[in-house]
A and B are shown apart, each in its own frame.
Chain A
Amino acid sequence: MAFPDLNSLEKESYHLHNSDGAVELVMGVGFVWISLMLYGGGGAPIGIVPVFMILLMRAFKKHITNPRIGYVNWGEKRKDRISRGKSSLVAIIVVLLTFFIILYVFLRKNEGLVQLINPFIPYIFALVLGSVFCIVAYIRTLPHLYFFGFVAFLLVIFKSSLHLNLQSITLILGIPLAAWGSVKLMMFLKKNPMLEKNEKES
């Protein structure tokens, strides 16, 4: 018997837990929802979407993933990686909020400065959107999300030349993500039938 490679063993376990398509599905639904809110206009409360996404993710893991493949507390290395990713995500959100508060409070009356900053705003958005994808990819070890991050970055940068707006960009990102997640979920459900009922507490 080959001696088990401990790193691969840990990675395989983590991949198994992320093979349910939850991340892609929840992100996809979130982006489509944001897009619909933006199309609706009128100061839609977009801030509730991430909260909804977190709740949906937890419910998904609790009712779909854990009963099928079991519950795990990850080791120290994995926990460190997850907490580093989460801290970066929080830092990005804080920096972004601070930036827009400063922009709104101090610069709204200064037309000259606003015009100076305006051309850079798409780049900031592109960086933020791309980074969010990359951080989720890093936390969950899902390499294809780096690609989505790169596409999101390019779409925002070239939105004028592609005749796109924020609504269409979020829709363009959301639909394939949700579709990807749905396919992964169907494969996961087929491969992992419910096991919990068989467990008669040994």
Chain B
Amino acid sequence: MLGKTENNPEKPDELDKLIHEPTRLKLIAQLYVLESADFVFLQNRLLLTQGNLSSHMNKLEEAGYVLVEKTFVKKKPRTLFSLTTKGRTAFENYRDNIHKMLDADP
């Protein structure tokens, strides 16, 4: 069920490996229920180090799942993360697939 490809729309029944990793799954699930959140919030909620969060976010951004918006609020930098439509669809597919997989008779 776990395909070699990380994001293959031609094989919709396969689990997306990029999302399947536990920390990224938590990250994507967190962003799925929000419109956007900043670096500090995600770091705080998931108890991640800066390096760890950055590396996961870079992977998600490269895959086109997460949109990174860097803004300045009164001269202070704020990095906002939000899920792209592609990211939302990928997470929904992942949910459906994992439900199908867990509900299937042994």
- Using a CB–CB cutoff of 8 Å, the interface residues on chain A facing chain B are 1, 3-4, 6-7, 9-10, 13, 16, 66-76, 79, 192, 195-196, 198-202
Determine the chain B residues whose CB is within 8 A of the CB of A202 once the complex forms. 39, 50, 53-54, 57, 79
Verify B29–A6 contact, CB threshold 8 A. yes
Interface size class of B (residues with CB under 8 A): 20 to 34
Given contacts A4-B25, A192-B44, A201-B70, whether A71 and B53 have CB atoms under 8 Å apart is no
State the CA gap A198–B38 with chains docked (Å): 13
Shortest CB distance B92–A (Å): 11
Whether a CB of chain A sits under 8 angstroms from the CB of B22 is yes
Name B's interface SS.
helix
Residues of chain B from 38 to 70 with CB closer than 8 A to chain A in the complex: 38-45, 50, 53-54, 57, 70
State the CA gap A69–B34 with chains docked (Å): 15
Whether a CB of chain A sits under 8 angstroms from the CB of B30 is yes
State the CA gap A66–B29 with chains docked (Å): 21
Please tell me which one of the listed residues B22, B34, B78 contacts residue A1 in the complex, with CB atoms under 8 A apart: B22
Verify B33–A72 contact, CB threshold 8 A. no
